[in-house]
């Protein structure tokens, strides 16, 4: 078994695709319209679906926004340098909601940004030797 994808419902598909591809550097892997169901699916990621976990962006044509609720947490992305990743997001007009720095009660450097629909994305700075306790 392996994890295939996480699905996010988005209000403006083109805006979301732009954020994930232009701001976060993912690739648009495929996009399919379903006129009978009035929705479009777009898959984005850092590698092909056959070998990587990806994001499915679902756009229901008649829905402009969603209540994110309080059960969903965030997407996590490993980055070489969380400080530089935050700077790049800001330069592209993205929103940093927690600047890069050590996590509370640990040493791991993290940051949080927010996509156009309000979903949180955590940047976790790459370590040479990963230790889950940090």
How many whole angstroms separate alpha carbon 79 and alpha carbon 49?
20
Q: Is 122 a catalytic residue?
A: yes
CA dist list (Å): 48 to 4, 54, 60, 124: 11, 8, 24, 22
Query: Which stretches of 46-130 are assigned E, i.e. beta strand?
Result: 54-60, 75-79, 95-102, 109-114, 120-125
How many whole angstroms separate alpha carbon 61 and alpha carbon 84?
36
Output b/e per residue, 86-109; b: 16+ Cβ within 10 A.
Answer: bebbeeeebebeeebeeeeeeeeb
Among candidate residues 48, 56, 122, 128, the one labeled active-site is 122
What residues are annotated to the active site?
A: 122
């Amino acid at each position: 078994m392996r994890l295939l994808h996480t699905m996010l419902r988005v209000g403006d598909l083109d805006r979301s695709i732009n954020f994930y591809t232009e701001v976060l550097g993912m690739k648009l892997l495929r996009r399919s319209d379903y006129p009978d169901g009035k929705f479009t699916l777009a898959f984005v990621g850092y590698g092909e679906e056959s070998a990587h976990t990806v994001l499915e962006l679902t756009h229901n044509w008649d829905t402009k926004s969603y209540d994110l609720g309080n059960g969903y947490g965030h997407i996590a992305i490993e980055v070489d340098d969380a400080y530089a990743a935050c700077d790049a997001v800001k330069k592209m007009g993205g929103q940093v909601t927690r600047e890069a720095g050590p996590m509370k009660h640990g040493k791991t450097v993290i940051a949080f940004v927010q996509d156009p629909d309000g979903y949180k994305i955590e940047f976790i700075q790459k370590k040479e030797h990963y230790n889950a306790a940090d």
